[in-house]
Amino acid sequence: MKIKLKKSILSAFFLFLLFLVPISPVLAGNSDNTQLEQLLQSIIEEKSNIENAYTFINVGNFFLENELYKPAQEEYKKALEIDPFNKMALVNLSYALYREEEHDEAFEILTDLTVNDTANAHAYYVKGLIYKDQRKIDEAIEQYEKVIDLIPNHQQLNAELGQLYLDNHQLIEANERFTEMGYSQLRPNIMEKITDYQVNAYCYLHLGNYYRNINEIEKAQQAYQTATQFKNDNRSIALAHFYLGEIKLSEQEYEKAIIEKILAQRMYPLGEHNFTFNTFAEAFIEIGDMYYHEANLPEALNNYELATNMGSAQDILALAHYKKGLTYYRSQDYENSLREAETALSLNPDYLSDQQRLIDLLVANSWSKITGNK
């Protein structure tokens, strides 16, 4: 850790104060002059102290680079005698102590430092190194994760964290870390061996995600299918069904996609994961509109039906049922027209407020046709 003292700002400030001294009699009386001289003297002393502290730090860094850890410790301690709260000296001293396996003393310094400075990535890193040497992998991972939060794109740190995950048999996290840093091609068998350590829905779900990311779709489907056979992890099972449905959507096997989506919904409320199906539902409504305006009512109805089966958002479902109602009405199927219009109103009356009068008219006309009343 090379630390260079930047003197220019202090020097400029010092010269600025020297410049003030000759004109101070014009600005103030003797009492003020005395205070100014005292202030100047204190700043000179402080400047001198800082210079001396960083002189010792720089010498310590020289020893540290040459793996002379004991002499480095002495220099950092000299710096701390001058400036007890110097973070550079504290972190570098703790690292020198760590290299000499004086873990307790190093850890005491680092603990005090991170209590007062929660954004000190270097301190967390040295704590992680200590825990790693002591084979306390969980604790080491915790410290490394704090470092990554502060320095997210550091290649070496991410690689070291990924290796810690591997050592701790956290293969999913290891794979995610290596993938994020572009190392996935170097570790092709990480996820493939995951079930050697754990056999459950969660692991097969992530194994499926791994295969899907590398475009091994058939293997991804097999992994997702296996995930759905487990019990006691409804969320992972629901996600496996959902991702199978997404694959079926991409393959234009819409009926199978709808089945997987329904199975996912029955298993666990996935919320934001329904985005893909809602998007497809809106697309089917637009396709249905195209056929409707071309008077191809069977195809229009088929697409609106797909939309009602795929959509999850109430506004989309309401619109799809409303469109179905119009299509049935135009086909003179008044009973189904009435049912679809009432379904649309029950799903989302506020969203359809602009179409309320039209729907009410549709319902009234359909009802009159069914009952024979006018």
Query: What is the block-wise mean pLDDT of the chain (374 residues), using blocks of 10 residues?
Result: 39 34 37 59 51 81 84 89 88 90 89 84 89 86 89 80 77 71 51 59 81 86 89 84 84 80 78 67 85 90 87 84 88 84 77 59 63 55
Q: Print the domain residue range for 29.
A: 1-100
Compute the CA torsion angle 299, 304, 305, 310 (nearest 10 deg): 130
Number of domains in the chain: 3
Pick the last residue of a domain from 38, 71, 100. 100
- E-strand stretches of 225-298: none
Does 146 map to a domain? Answer: no
Write out the two tokens for 316: 């989309």
94 and 2 co-located in one domain: yes
The pLDDT score that the predictor gives to residue 164 is 84
**Residues 1 and 93 occupy one common structural domain:** yes
**Assigned domain for 357 exists:** yes
- Give the pLDDT of residue 296: 92
CB 356 within 8 A of CB 363: no
Q: Are both 234 and 323 inside the same structural domain?
A: no
Of 207, 234, 269, the domain-final residue: 269
Domain boundary among 269, 299, 318: 269
Ramachandran class of 278: left when φ > 0, alpha when ψ lies in -120 to 50, beta otherwise: alpha
Cα four-point dihedral sign 145, 147, 153, 155: negative
CA of residue 156 relative to chain centroid, distance? 20
Residue 116 token pair: 């007062």
- Whether this prediction's pTM lies above 0.75 is answered by no
Does residue 142 fall inside a structural domain? no
Same domain, 76 and 45: yes
**CATH number of domain containing 21:** 1.25.40
CA distance 355 to 347: 14
CA distance 355 to 334: 19
Q: Are residues 256 and 292 in the same domain?
A: no
The count of other CB atoms within 10 Å of the CB of residue 220 is: 21
**Is residue 121 in some structural domain?**
no
Residue 331: inside a domain, yes or no? yes
b/e per residue, 62-71, with b = 16+ CB within 10 A?
ebbeeeebee
pLDDT at residue 93, as a whole number: 92
